[in-house]
Amino acid sequence: MTLIDGRQTSSQIKSEIAARVADIVATGKRAPHLAAILVGHDGGSETYVAAKVKACAECGFKSSLIRFEDDVTEQRLLEEIQRLNADSDVDGFIVQLPLPRHISEQKVIEAIDPRKDVDGFHPVNVGRSSIGLPAFVSATPAGILTLLSRYDIDTKGKEVVVLGRSNIVGKPMASLLMQKANPGNATVTVCHSATKGIAEICRRADIIIAALGVPGFVTADMVKPGAVVIDVGTTRVPDSTRKSGFRLRGDVDFDAVAPNCSYITPVPGGVGPMTIVSLMQNTLLAACGDIYPAV
């Protein structure tokens, strides 16, 4: 069994990005610039945004953090998005989710210029990715593709079972892996809350991608010997032995499943670090105009 080390891979990729940024800056151009909008003070969101700002520094990017209080109006937020859309100094930006209930996340996502939508949540990017055109791809599925590729895990003709059909992980993951591409060319099945016989379906899989948000859902009897298991789950479960009072648990019963796998990602340290590095890769693509060439 090989443990897929997301921390090491992400460090490696950040070094590669930093080297490219150094080259860009050496030609006299400015460094890529990622902006993040953070509304309120949710603990998880604070942590994620701080990690993104730190990753920008490691990659040699400029970053800007724009904060609003919980009571910001939707209108004010949309104005800020228009400002960032128009700001030629900003290559890409994200609005950290979730947002307070009085703000429509969908309206916010659709207000972002697709050319700066480095989270890949805008329908234009979702649609372009689905039909095989260059697009900003949602960071988690993109990070998983990168892991599969860096670990030379062949996906062509493999049976892949994706657990979960969220708009930001399950659906784009399935869409990417069925493309005529490499990684890709897999036979993909998507399971969800209405699926019957999910254990049996999992047992068919050469590759399982678990993104349900149900800690320990994938048990040893659900995994074919030699399968590849990618765990996207990061649920906070109470843990009185930790200073934070919680620890992260994945969707996979790691200790029982791992001995049976060919490859497996741990939680934490697997998919998580790759998500942030994918955002960095998208920002670099945005800065270089690789997805949407300047018109």
Q: Can you give the binding site for its own copies, defined by CB under 8 A?
A: 106, 122-128, 130-133, 156-157, 165, 167, 171, 174-175, 178-180, 185-196, 201
User: Please, are residues 189 and 141 in contact by the beta-carbon 8 Å criterion?
Assistant: no
Give 263's strand partners.
Answer: 2, 228
SS3 75: helix
- Does the CA dihedral 247-251-4-93 come out positive or negative? negative
Phi, psi at 146, each rounded to 5°? -65, -45
Based on CB atoms, which residue is closest to its own copies, 86 or 194? 194
Whether 82 is catalytic: no
Least distance between its own copies and beta carbon 267 (Å): 25
Least distance between its own copies and beta carbon 41 (Å): 28
Question: Helix/strand/coil (H, E, C) string of 271-285?
Answer: HHHHHHHHHHHHHHH
Based on CB atoms, which residue is closest to its own copies, 197 or 225? 197
Q: In what order do the strands lie in the sheet with 92-95?
A: 62-68, 33-39, 92-95
- The torsion region of residue 249 among left (phi > 0), alpha (psi -120 to 50) and beta comes to beta
Least distance between its own copies and beta carbon 286 (Å): 17
Using only C-alpha atoms, the chain has a radius of gyration, in whole angstroms, of 19
Least distance between its own copies and beta carbon 84 (Å): 21
Based on CB atoms, which residue is closest to its own copies, 47 or 106? 106
Residue in 5, 62, 91, 96 annotated catalytic: 96
Based on CB atoms, which residue is closest to its own copies, 124 or 145? 124
Whether 12 is catalytic: no
Residue in 5, 91, 117, 119 annotated catalytic: 119
CA distance 267 to 86: 39
Helices (H), the chain: 6-26, 43-59, 74-86, 105-111, 123-130, 139-150, 170-178, 198-203, 254-257, 271-288
Angle at 56 between CA 63 and CA 89, to 5 degrees: 35
| Residue in the block written with tokens 């018109």 | 295
Based on CB atoms, which residue is closest to its own copies, 131 or 294? 131
Please list, in sequence order, all residues whose beta carbon lies within 8 angstroms of the beta carbon of residue 76, skipping any fewer than 6 positions away. 68
Whether 52 is catalytic: yes
Based on CB atoms, which residue is closest to its own copies, 171 or 249? 171
Structure tokens at 150: 């860096």
Least distance between its own copies and beta carbon 49 (Å): 23
Q: Write out the catalytic residue numbers.
A: 52, 96, 119
